[in-house]
Structure 1
Amino acid sequence: MPHPVIRPARADEYDEVGRVWMESWASTRLAETSDFLLANLRARIRREIANGWSLFVADDNGTIAAMLALHVPKLYLDMLFVAPAYQGRSIGRQLLAFTRTQMPDEMYLRCVRENEKAWRWYEREGFVFEKEEIEPSNGFMMKYYRWKRAA
């Protein structure tokens, strides 16, 4: 089966990207889907794009399989979420490889400490743990990571 195509998200897809984000986040069992959460994520997408996000999607013949948000000037991989129906198909690895084309030498990310599946995956992918801090906006303890290309 061919991999989805990674491409920039279009403005008319932002609401669907928000739904994919919510469903993927809910699949971690750290939140539940709700109209309130969906509205907040959809609003956040527009706000973050205005603040410098580059938003990409993994497009599976018209279906958004995943979303990827980068802040390239800050060397920051901000969001990588794969829709539950597409999890386990190496789409996350494909998105990470794409991210390394955008930030080939170094990048940073953070993830929720309780999302062990995510941070263990990032560690397997070469990210090095740097610190933990509470994120004031949501109260979650966040694990901060850095990846640097080997010399």
Structure 2
Amino acid sequence: MNSAELVFRRADDSDAADLADVWLRSFTAALPTVRRAHSDDEVRDWFSYVVVPQYETWVAVAQGSVIGLMVLDGGELEQLYLDPSWRGRGLGDRFVDLAKQQRPGGLGLWTFQVNEPAQRFYERHGFVVVERTDGQHNEEREPDVRYAWRPQG
């Protein structure tokens, strides 16, 4: 697919259901051992009533379909999920580049310790581990790791 067929833009209310569906498919594929803290309907409501209206939410669209999402909240990269069929095609790289453009002063994020592909991905993009926890402070109660990126200079 050439880049002309791929669009990155700010999400709007009409994207919420598609964003939730991508999140659900991605979470299920990438994190099969992690207990989800919320039902599918709760995730859909969260995207409709919280994520899209309250946070800086970005969407990637190809051929009219939502294929990825990124959510920024202040200096936090809160969410980065890709449709499983789009993993390994540079979409995540483009989202991280966009996040760095939007937050040139630096970014922080959390990922689960079991998500080793995500850890390798973020480390390739210059994020460094700053903390590991036993998961007692996240809804899934899953051990996690905090990353930070600071611009060189």
TM-score after normalising by structure 2 = 0.88
Structure 1 unaligned blocks of 5 or more? none
The percentage of counterpart residues that share the same residue type is 23
Q: Which moved more, 1:96-105 or 1:130-139?
A: 130-139
Q: Using the alignment, how far apart are the partners of 1:32 and 1:18 within structure 2?
A: 17
The one-letter code matched in structure 1 to 2:104 is P
2:33 aligns with: 30
Once residues 32 and 141 of structure 1 are traced to their aligned partners in structure 2, the CA distance between those partners, rounded to angstroms, is: 12
User: Residue 43 of structure 1 aligns with which residue?
Assistant: 45
Structure 2: unaligned runs, 5 residues or longer: none
Cα 1:53–1:77 change in 2 (3 A) is same
Partner of 1:123: 123
Q: Say whether 1:64 aligns with 2:66.
A: yes
User: Partners in 2 of 1:122 and 1:78 — Cα distance?
Assistant: 13
Structure 1 runs of 4+ with >6 Å offset: none
Shift of 1:10: 1.6
Report SS of the residue matched to 1:114.
coil
SS in 2 for 1:27: helix
Report the RMSD for the aligned CA atoms in angstroms.
Answer: 1.8
Structure 1 residues 139 and 17: CA distance shift in structure 2, 3 A: same
CA distance in 2, matches of 1:123, 1:141: 18
How do 1:1-151 and structure 2 match up within 5 A? Answer: 1-3=1-3, 4-28=6-30, 29-31=32-34, 37-45=39-47, 46-50=49-53, 52-71=54-73, 73=74, 75-133=75-133, 134=135, 135-151=137-153
1:70-108 superposed Cα distances (whole Å, 9 cap, x missing partner): 11x3x0000000101111110000111111110012110
Deviations 1:43-64 (CA, angstroms, capped at 9, x unpaired)? 22222445x4111100112111
Does the aligned pair in 2 maintain the 1:26–1:32 contact within 8 Å? no
1:22, 1:37 within 8 Å by CA — same for their partners in 2? no
Aligned partners of 1:59 and 1:113: how far apart in 2?
Answer: 29
How many residues align? The count is: 146
Shift of residue 37, structure 1, vs aligned partner: 3.1
TM-score, normalization: structure 1? Answer: 0.89
